[in-house]
Structure 1
Amino acid sequence: MSRAKVLLVEDDWEWINGLKMYFAGESVFEIVSCVDNREACMAALEQISVDVVLMDIILGDANSSGLDATLDIAHKYPSVKVIMVSSLDNDDEVFNEAFLSGAYDFVYKDEFEQIPAVIAGAMNDQGTKYGPRLRKLVFDKKKKLLTPYDIVLLKLTVEGKTQQEIADMNSVSLSAVKKHVGRILDKFDWQRSTRELADKCHKWGLLE
């Protein structure tokens, strides 16, 4: 079997160089490109064909992360397997969101020697030790956070409606919509824009 073509998304270039040196000549895979942010990752996928993306969870951009990029890949390039790589070992929410966003598997940086075996499993479509069951558990947990009106509001946000337009459509005040949006953001402990949360919930399938 030919070697898997891997795109590495990581903002620590010292770690990148170390990984490339360690796996030079590896029979299972070859790293064909390295980028350090979400936008560069998506641009690279438009230019080159890869089988696997090794994705660091924490990237340098405060407004974007490996989780966001993973969700983008799952929707635009569903045949590409994303394997999360991180030094985090005590953040269950991040771990769970990785799988909800479409990650195939997860490797800790201090266990990087496992990468060839995980990539081989991805190429053979082997089930992971986490698999769809964990994804469903996380999906169900987040789905329960949303009321029917939350879903309507987020759908309208995805469609590009402003909060004033949403207020007019529902015959309520703008302040009422703002308060409701605030409650939704609090449920998800969300610090970024409402549109970004709405888009993410849409891609997760929570608005169906």
Structure 2
Amino acid sequence: MQNIRLAIIDDNSFLINAIKEKLSFFNDIQIKYTANNGQEIIEKLAKDKNLEVLLMDIEMPMMNGIEATLEIKQRYPQIKIIMLTVFDNDENIFNAIKAGADGYLLKEVDPNSLYQGIQETLSGGAAMTPSIALKTLKLLRNPINLEEDQTESEEIKLSSREIDVLEQLSKGLSYTVIAENLFLSPSTVRKHIENIYSKLQVHSKLEAVQKAKKNNLI
């Protein structure tokens, strides 16, 4: 049986040891070396690129896993890279896939699932934790969500006075200054802002301004 040569890249030595332990159950896995950040793995690959798989953390100092993946994939496209991370947020998944990652697993993965994920990736598949796979599907369906957002935006109806108040708010002006500028009493301005929050379903000035801009209201 041919050995699967791999490297583990993580800035946490405790987590490197935990992954090593998970892989120790499988005789055909050979851990050639480890690295603590993206820069270090690139330097080590320059000396020895005879690897099949990299298990790559995302959040690391000097050079993170996504930047390293992008660079490694350009230099060594044959090496499979599986992101192994505690984060399953949409932005990380999207950026990792864009950078060329072949799989995306969470660090709490059990030994068998990790091993199967490596095997699957080597045979041309994509190893993914179920929660990640679900989020990836949602990311791919994003255009549909955008259409939904547009229909939502049509339902948000602000009066011209409320839009005036919101525009003043977006400039960072205080209630009293807005009241002076629009020839209103501060209590009327406060009432308008309450209505704006309620219509936009937000709880802060920043959220109100962001949502209004997103929906082209200001």
- Which among 83, 106, 109 is matched to residue 108 of structure 1? 106
Partner of 2:123: 124
Deviation by residue 1:118-168 (Cα, 9 ceiling, x = unmatched): 1111222235566xx97x959x9xxxxxxxxxxxxxxxxxxxxxxxxxxxx
Partner of 1:80: 79
What is the alpha-carbon distance in structure 1 between the residues aligned to residue 12 and residue 126 of structure 2? 30
TM-score (norm 2): 0.55
- How much has 1:60 moved relative to structure 2? 2.6
Q: What is the identity, as a one-letter code, of the residue corresponding to 2:52?
A: D
Q: What is the identity, as a one-letter code, of the residue corresponding to 2:6?
A: V
Q: Does the 8 A contact of 2:103 with 2:126 survive in 1? A: no
Runs of 4+ in 1 over 6 A off after TM superposition: none
Q: Does the 8 A contact of 2:82 with 2:127 survive in 1? A: no
Partner of 1:58: 59
Q: What is the identity, as a one-letter code, of the residue corresponding to 1:47?
A: K
TM-score (norm 1): 0.58
In our comparison, the structure showing a higher alpha carbon Rg is 2
Deviation by residue 1:146-199 (Cα, 9 ceiling, x = unmatched): xxxxxxxxxxxxxxxxxxxxxxxxxxxxxxxxxxxxxxxxxxxxxxxxxxxxxx
Structure 2 spans left out of the alignment, 5+ residues: 144-218
Q: Does the 8 A contact of 1:57 with 1:84 survive in 2? A: yes
Do the aligned partners of residues 120 and 72 (structure 1) sit closer, same or farther apart at CA in structure 2, a change above 3 Å counting?
same
Q: Does the 8 A contact of 1:29 with 1:119 survive in 2? A: no
Do the aligned partners of residues 127 and 98 (structure 1) sit closer, same or farther apart at CA in structure 2, a change above 3 Å counting?
closer
What is the alpha-carbon distance in structure 1 between the residues aligned to residue 55 and residue 10 of structure 2? 8
What is the alpha-carbon distance in structure 2 between the residues aligned to residue 121 and residue 5 of structure 1? 15
What is the alpha-carbon distance in structure 2 between the residues aligned to residue 97 and residue 127 of structure 1? 16
Q: 2:108 aligns to what SS in structure 1? A: helix
- How much has 1:22 moved relative to structure 2? 3.2
Q: Matched residue pairs, number?
A: 133
Partner of 1:10: 10
Q: Does the 8 A contact of 1:52 with 1:83 survive in 2? A: yes
Q: Does the 8 A contact of 1:38 with 1:69 survive in 2? A: yes
